[in-house]
Amino acid sequence: MKIGMVADSTAYFRPEDKIKYNIETVPVNVLFEGKVYRDGIDLTASQAYQFLEKNPDDWATSAPAVGEFLVAFKKLAAQGAESIICLTLAQSISATWNNARNAKIAAEKEMPGVKIEVVDSGTAVIGETLLVLAIGRAAAEGRNLEELIELLEKLKKKIRVFILLETIRYVYRSGRVPQIASKIGSILPLKPILSVHGGRLHFGGATISKEKSREKILRILKEETDPNYPEVGLAYINTSEEAEKLKKEILSLMPSAKIFISEFSPIVGYATGLGTIGISFFVK
C-alpha cells in the first residue's frame, strides 16, 4: 500500500526526503500590509524577516486554508497514494489541524478510495519534521496504515522540542508563555528556554547566556535521547554559525547521532525573534 505524507510548512524537509517519503507541504499564510503570502512559496525566510524589521506591527499569520490541504491530498492520490497521513501543528498553537480535518471530509467525498488520517502532532516545527520522517521511514519498510498510526501515537509522546531565545519580549508580545515568566524574562538579562511537548508550549527556565542554554540542553540530550531514534533536528534564525557549533558539540557527545540543520520558518521567527536556536529529539 502506497502511503503519502502531508505536513504544514513550519516543518522543513530536504528535497530528497520529500521525494523519498512522498511528502507534500502545505503553506502557512503570512499577512503583511494587506497582502497574503504563502510561506515558502511566495515568501522566503529572508524576505519575511525584512518585512518584520520594516513593520512588525502589520505582520500576522493564518493557518493553511482548507483548499490548500485538499490540493495536497488530491496530488498524492493522483500519484498513486492509497492512504495519506497528515500531521499538523499542535491544536493549542494553531487552527491548522481543524482546517486539515475539514479538508479530509471534503477529500473523502471526492476520493472515497483513499484513506486519510489527520493527526495532531502535539508538537511544532522541527519536532513535527522528525515525526514525519520517522513515519516515512516506517512506511518505506512496509508497515501498513494502522501500524503507522500506532507508531505515530507512541512517538508523539517521546518527541521534544527546545527553543533557545535571545530575548523573551517577542514571545511576551505573542502571549504564548505564562505571564509571570514573561515579565521576569523581560526585566532580567536572561536567555529564556521554551519547550514544546504534550501539545503545549512551556517555559523551560532561563540562563545567563546562550552558551549556558546550550550546555543545559546538551545535558538533557545526552541523558534522555532514545538510542533507537538517534535523529536530532536543529533549526536557527539568523544564527547558522551557532547551529553548526551546536551540531559539533552534539556529535562529540553522541557520535552516532544523525543531525540535520534547517532554517526556522518565519512563522516561528515572528514569535521568537532573531537569534533563536531550536533542537528536537526523541526521549527514552
- pLDDT per residue as tens digits for the range 243-275: 999 999 999 999 999 999 998 888 787 778 888
Each domain of the chain, given as residue ranges in start order, spans 3-28+63-156, 159-282
- How high is the pLDDT of residue 185? 56
Residue 8, classified by CB atoms within 10 Å of its CB into exposed (0-12), middle (13-18) or buried (19+), is buried
> Do the domains 3-28+63-156 and 159-282 sit in the same CATH topology, yes or no?
no
- How high is the pLDDT of residue 184? 58
- How high is the pLDDT of residue 147? 97
Q: Is the pLDDT of residue 200 over 70?
A: yes
Range of lowest pLDDT (7-16, 35-44, 123-132, 133-142): 35-44
Name the grid cell of 72. Answer: 495536497
pLDDT in tens, 71-106: 999 999 999 999 999 999 998 888 999 999 999 999
Q: Is the pLDDT of residue 232 over 80?
A: yes
Closest CA to 154 of 122, 193, 178: 122
Full-model pTM: 0.91
Coil, helix or strand for 258?
Answer: strand
CB 83 within 8 A of CB 116: yes
pLDDT in tens, 146-189: 999 999 999 999 999 999 988 776 765 555 555 555 555 555 67
What is the rounded end-to-end Cα distance, in angstroms, of the chain? 30
Res. 130 pLDDT band, cuts 50 70 90: very high
- How high is the pLDDT of residue 175? 56
Sign of CA dihedral 52, 9, 268, 212: negative
pLDDT in tens, 36-50: 999 988 888 778 878
Q: Is the pLDDT of residue 239 over 90?
A: no
Q: How many residues does the chain have?
A: 284
159-282 classified as CATH 3.20.130.10: no
Helices (H) and strands (E) in the chain, counts: 11, 13
Res. 65 pLDDT band, cuts 50 70 90: very high
CATH (residue range 3-28+63-156) = 3.40.50.10440
**Which residues have CB under 8 Å from 37's CB, separation 6+?**
29, 30, 31, 43, 48
- How high is the pLDDT of residue 273? 80
